[in-house]
Amino acid sequence: MTSGGIDTDIDWLRRAARPLADPPIEPGWNLEELADVIDPKLPRRKAAVLVPFVRRESALSVLFTRRTANLRTHAGQISFLGGAIEEGDADPVAAALRETFEETGIEPERVEPFGYLDGFETVSGYFVSPVAGFVRGDYCVKPDPQEVAEVFEVPLDFILAPNRLRRFDFDWHGRTRTTFEFEWDGRRVWGATASILKNLLQRLEAR
């Protein structure tokens, strides 16, 4: 899979995403992988993440954060911006934009949400709605020092390169599980974040 220039990529992403009027619903596309550790009859907690595509002059990049080492969960891991949907959030888009601002200081007006990827299940019992959005390249970051150790970008072309996302098998709760991973400048992106990118690639390939 290769990039076709920024205008082509923007159009490609818009066509690959679910419309904002069609948010994902349960179950998540990866439920089969976790069916033995998640009770499908129990209600999921709702969460949303922003999958941020930064507009540069001639290309797009994807923005990630590295979590601080002192967090109770996912310490030190690479992730998208997001968290639990709160009572005051109108929808997953509102939650993703709020969390993005709280974690990085990137204002909602600098983000153009344009669609959703498919819903994703986590082992902690969340149903995650990934919100795809374009971020203006003139954003400024003010990371929350309690949550975010680093904010960085990876060129979209790099992620789209053939075989960039590698399958990663590991043993957990009595059987072999499958996730995905890639490395960028010494950083390992894996787990839920890489799996959301895998879903993005699948939707792009289907268009």
Each residue's pLDDT tens digit, 134-144: 999 999 999 99
Q: pLDDT of 96-115, one tens digit each?
A: 999 999 999 999 999 999 99
Sequence-distant contacts of 37-42: CB under 8 A, at least 24 apart: 37/123, 37/173, 38/121, 38/123, 38/125, 42/125
H/E segment holding residue 127: strand 126-135
pTM of the model: 0.92
**C-beta separation of 125 from 38 below 8 A:** yes
Per the structure block, which two tokens stand in for 15? 């066509």
* Mean pLDDT of the chain, nearest integer: 91
114: how many CB neighbours lie within 10 A of its CB? 16
Spatial separation of the C-alpha atoms in residues 149 and 66, rounded to whole Å: 6
| pLDDT tens, position by position, 165-195 | 998 887 776 777 778 899 999 999 988 899 9
Confidence at residue 42, expressed as pLDDT on a 0 to 100 scale: 75
Residue written as token pair 């075989």: 163
Q: Is the pLDDT of residue 28 over 70?
A: yes
